[in-house]
Structures are given as C-alpha cells and as structure tokens.
Amino acid sequence: MSVLRVGSGTLRVAPEDLKPILSQAGLSLSPPLLEDYSKLLSGLDAAIASLPDDKPGIPCPDLEKYPRTDIHVPKDTEGGGWAIKVTAKCTTPKNDLLQGRTVALKDNMAFAGVPCTNGTDMVEWVPEIDATVATRIMDAGGIILGKAACENSCCEGMSATAITGQVHNPYADGYNAGGSSSGSGRLVAIGSVDLAIGCDQGGSIRIPASSCGIVGLKPTCGLVPYTGILSLDAHLDHVGPMTKNVRDCALLLEAIAGPDGWDDRQPPFGLEGERLKFVEPVGIVAARETSKMLEGMKIGILKEGFDIAGMDPNVERSVKSAIEKFASLGATVSEVSVPLHKEAPTVWMCAVQLAGTRQGILGDLQGRKQLHFTDRAELVGSQLTQAQFDKLGPGASNFYLGSLWVQEKYGAKLHGKCMNLMKAISDAYDKALEECDVLVMPTLPSPPPRLPDPGALGESETPLKFLSRTPGMISNTAPFDNSGHPALSLPVGFVPAVEDASVRLPTGLQIVGRKYHDVDCLKVAAAWEKSFDWKTL
C-alpha cells in the first residue's frame, strides 16, 4: 500500500500510544519497528484530521418544502402502535399518487428533527436527514403522521420489547402483533393510518402483516432504496409497504420504488419504466372476469413450506383452503419441492451473527457504498458498554453475544460459508420459479401467541423463555430475505389462538415471486382478495 503522508515533527502517534493497542491485538514490535510505524501512523492520523466535513454531501431535507410540525410523544399510543407523532408533508408534491393518504414510518427510519429510537433507549438520536422513502412519500402527496413503534433494535418477532411499550394485536389485546414492524401492522389494521412502512430482515414486514390481518410486501432486494434506515445486515435489509389491501400495497410500492443513487443494494441499471409500475397491472387483474382473473398463472405449493417446526393444524388447514381457491380463478396449482428451503433458516441464523451485530447494533457499515450515520455511530462506539448492553432486548443481546462467540471461535470463514450457501438456496428457488410464476405457503406456522406480562422481561420472562415462545416463526420468511425474492403476506382467514380457542386471530398466505417480478405477487394476491372475504373464512 502506498503512503500518501508520513508524520514529521511532533509525533501524533507516539510509540507509547501504540504499545497498548499492539498488546491487545497480541502483537509485539522491536523498538526500531515501533519507531517506524509510529511515524507512519502519525501520517495516517494527520490525514484523518485533515478530512473535510461530510455534511455538505449528506441529503439534509429542505424544511420549507417538507415542513414538519407538532413533534411529540403521544399520551395515547393506540395500543402501543405509536412511538412518536408528527405532521409532515410536501408543499409542492411531484405527483398525486398518495394525495391525502396518511402514512406511518417505522421507528428505525431517519426523519429529520424527529427522534429515532429503533425500539431501544441504548442511545438517544435525532437524525438530520430523511430516509429516501419518506421523501418519496411526501413527494407523492402523502402525509406522514409519525413513527410507528418497533421492537428493540428490530431484533424481535414478538411485540413486547419496544422501549415505548407492548404493541397489542388489533384483534385481541394481550396477543402478539408481530415484529419487528409491530406498530406499523397495528396502526394500519385499526385504521389510525391508511398506509405504513415496514422493514424486513427476517420477516419483520410479513410477521406483523400476518398477525394483524393486513397486506405486507417484502420487495425484491434493492427494488426500494434502504437509504436513511438503520440496518441489521445490508445483505438482508428490505423496506416495503404495509397496507389494508393489495391495491394500496401496489400504490405505496410504486411511490417508493426505484434507485436513488445512494444504496448499493440497488442495481445500477434495469430499474426504470414499466418495471416500476404496479398499480395499473393490479387494477387490470381485478377488473377481469372472476373465473379468468389468473388464467395462465402457474402457482406452486411449496411442499417444505408446510413441513416446519411449530406448524399449527388450524393454520395449515386455513392456508391450504385458501390455496385451493386459486383454481377457481383460472390458475394452475401444483406442488413443488425445494429441499434447501428447510436449510435456509439455519443459514440465516448463522450468517446474521457477525454482520447483524457490526452493522445493526454498532452501526458499522464498513465496506458498503451507502449513506452512513456517522453521528449515531459515534454515540454507540466500537463496542457496547455494560449499560448499553443492558438496554438491549433478548433478541438483540443474543445477537451481540453470538457475534462475540462466532468471532472468537469461527471468524470470517463462517460468514463466507453462509454467503456461499445463500447463493445455492437462491438458485434453488429460481429453478422452482422457472416452472411456476409464484410459490405459496403459510406466512407463519402458528397463530399469534399471548404476550408475556408487562414488566416480566428480565425477571420471570428470561431470554431463553422469551425467545422460545415462537418456534419456527421465521422458517418461511427468513429464507426470502436470504435470497432476495419478493414475498407478500395476504390475510386469508382466522384461526383459534393456541392458549384460548375462543380467541380468533388472523393468519396469512405468503406469495413469493421471481426477482423484480413483485407485480406477480400483487396480481395473485389482488385476484384472491377481490374474490374472497378473508374475514368470513
């Protein structure tokens, strides 16, 4: 490596400064080498000190064009749905795609001047920028009403860990609303907002969508820019719409999709024109004669999607009954097998440890070409203090300890092995989707469970007990974060709660399409939704 600058004069890095760092790394240098490297590192330190301010290049919003008012923590969180309220819109929208529609942002998204908790009080952070999707919502005439609650560090599927409090299922207080986009799911379901944004790394859009009886789409990886949103792991990060119905899902997707020039998850070409049109195709399908809505569509029932841990027989019956109805809409329905689907959740669990902690908890996005939150990274530090660790929920603390273990015992080889396996799994789905247009399976294997008693976390509700409440929850969702395929959860009926059969809770059908063919998921869902009322099934 060439050296641009060598320290001269007073050393910025003295040999005595370097010795403890070397010792911690298990290294030792002779006095002459220590002197040489002190001078070389002094040049590096001087270069760092000379860097210009990065703020001029950061896309801070024009607050006259995108004004925001009435920023406050609400007394009434509406069942735990809200983290913070605000009213924001564009004074000169570019189009009227979302004219007058109200929207909630997940509370892991930057919105200038509005606190961003990420579901935890590990740090107090008020961003200076707006996430790209927030700007696009306002540019389309949408009105942002606030930040929806999300689970602690976005690492939970149970809606019991947000710093703002538990989020209750819209159909039964005391039951899981799903996570980590828990507040987004609840607020849409109860009608507090028309639309919401969720983020999904293991199922965090689709889990609350299924639990709350709404539509949730994890788009193809890179279709929607993740710029300005706190990451968990860049290769898993997805952001997408959560809505009452399929047309609204298509509408919000059309408003937020497309490259923004920042996010390296997005392809540098190929995302333009008709590939970003979703509303009209869905409308065309819905307008067709019912018996021909899906004529020519081939739907594959993923065999392994029903053979997972925790599969509840009522969920299985409900989803299979919903799938049978596709034939009456003109579709060809047949079973397909992707054996690697059963391995995918294990690969996800092993892969996310190192990157999920480094990127998601510490905010260290090294190696990524995207917008970095340097101000927040400074608040967190290079490793957690005991006080910061104690602020994490069970899922996030488990990730952090897992990363320490994996780093010490396995190193980079484990992550590399998982990345290679992910490609093989993705290829297996691609092969199955050569024979059919979409794959279908249950979104979740079981009904939403009862929430633990408020305040029980860390006491009677131990991390092991809490994380054991939802066996198999991500078995059908996490694989498609790995692979990047679009995956939509559609409500298809009610099933009895495990703890109390008199409580009936929503269940969802997951529809998975070819990459960048998100519109096929929307078409299939729209046809089913138009033809059947899930609330009566």
Q: So what's the pLDDT on residue 160? A: 97
Taking each continuous run of H as one helix and of E as one strand, the counts in the chain are 16, 14
Entry field: residues in the chain = 537
In terms of DSSP H, where are the helices of 51-150? 132-139
Taking residues 414-432, what's their average pLDDT? 96
Partnered with residue 302 across adjacent β-strands are 336
Q: How confident is the model at residue 463 (pLDDT cuts 50, 70, 90)?
A: very high
Residue with the larger pLDDT of the pair 113 and 369: 113
Query: Which SS3 state, helix, strand or coil, does residue 119 take?
Result: coil
Q: What angle do CA 428, 207, 77 make, to 5 degrees?
A: 155
Decide if pLDDT at 72 tops 90.
Answer: yes
The pLDDT mean for the chain works out to 94
Name which of 205, 198, 102 is nearest 145 in CA terms: 102
Tokens of 363: 């905010």
Tokens of 308: 């997972």
Q: So what's the pLDDT on residue 356? A: 81
Decide if pLDDT at 8 tops 90.
Answer: no
Partnered with residue 438 across adjacent β-strands are 299, 513
Q: How confident is the model at residue 1 (pLDDT cuts 50, 70, 90)?
A: low
Residue that the structure tokens 């692979």 belong to:
483
DSSP for 280-311? HHHHHHHHS-GGGTTTT-EEEEEGGGGSSTT-
Q: So what's the pLDDT on residue 11? A: 81
Decide if pLDDT at 377 tops 80.
Answer: yes
Q: Cα 324 to the chain's mean position, in Å?
A: 30
Q: How confident is the model at residue 424 (pLDDT cuts 50, 70, 90)?
A: very high
Measured distance CA(438)–CA(512) in Å, rounded? 5
Amino acid identity, position 437 = D
Query: Which SS3 state, helix, strand or coil, does residue 346 take?
Result: helix
Query: Which SS3 state, helix, strand or coil, does residue 492 take?
Result: strand
Amino acid identity, position 323 = I
- For strand 332-336 and strand 438-442, is the pairing parallel, antiparallel, or unpaired? unpaired
* Cα–Cα distances in angstroms (integers) from residue 23 to residues 17, 42, 522, in the given order: 11, 19, 57
Taking residues 350-379, what's their average pLDDT? 89
Decide if pLDDT at 274 tops 90.
Answer: no
What are the tens digits of pLDDT across the range 141-170? 999 999 999 999 999 999 999 999 999 999
In sequence order, the 6+-apart residues with CB closer than 8 A to the CB of 279 are 97, 247, 250, 251, 254
Measured distance CA(80)–CA(54) in Å, rounded? 37
What are the tens digits of pLDDT across the range 204-248? 999 999 999 999 999 999 999 999 999 999 999 999 999 999 999
Q: So what's the pLDDT on residue 3? A: 59
What are the tens digits of pLDDT across the range 506-526? 999 999 999 999 999 999 999
Taking residues 285-299, what's their average pLDDT? 93
Measured distance CA(146)–CA(100) in Å, rounded? 15
Q: So what's the pLDDT on residue 337? A: 98
Name which of 82, 136, 73, 124 is nearest 107 in CA terms: 82
Decide if pLDDT at 186 tops 60.
Answer: yes
Q: So what's the pLDDT on residue 4? A: 61
Using CB atoms within 10 Å of the CB of residue 472, give its burial: 0 to 12 exposed, 13 to 18 middle, 19+ buried.
Answer: middle
Decide if pLDDT at 326 tops 90.
Answer: yes
Whether the Cβ atoms of residue 175 and residue 496 lie closer than 8 Å to each other: no
Residue with the larger pLDDT of the pair 10 and 29: 29
Whether the Cβ atoms of residue 368 and residue 264 lie closer than 8 Å to each other: yes
Tokens of 333: 């329905």
Q: What percent of the chain has pLDDT over 70?
A: 98
Taking residues 302-322, what's their average pLDDT? 97
DSSP for 91-110? SS-S--TTTT-EEEEETTB-
Taking residues 476-488, what's their average pLDDT? 98
Residue with the larger pLDDT of the pair 460 and 83: 83
Whether the Cβ atoms of residue 161 and residue 461 lie closer than 8 Å to each other: no
Measured distance CA(465)–CA(480) in Å, rounded? 27
Q: So what's the pLDDT on residue 365? A: 87
Q: What percent of the chain has pLDDT over 90?
A: 84
Measured distance CA(104)–CA(86) in Å, rounded? 10
Tokens of 207: 């889990």
* Cα–Cα distances in angstroms (integers) from residue 266 to residues 58, 224, 501, in the given order: 19, 8, 45
Tokens of 381: 């530090």
Whether the Cβ atoms of residue 506 and residue 499 lie closer than 8 Å to each other: no
Residues annotated as catalytic are 106, 180, 204
Q: So what's the pLDDT on residue 85? A: 98
Name which of 138, 130, 144 is nearest 91 in CA terms: 138
Q: How confident is the model at residue 46 (pLDDT cuts 50, 70, 90)?
A: confident
pTM, rounded to two decimals: 0.95
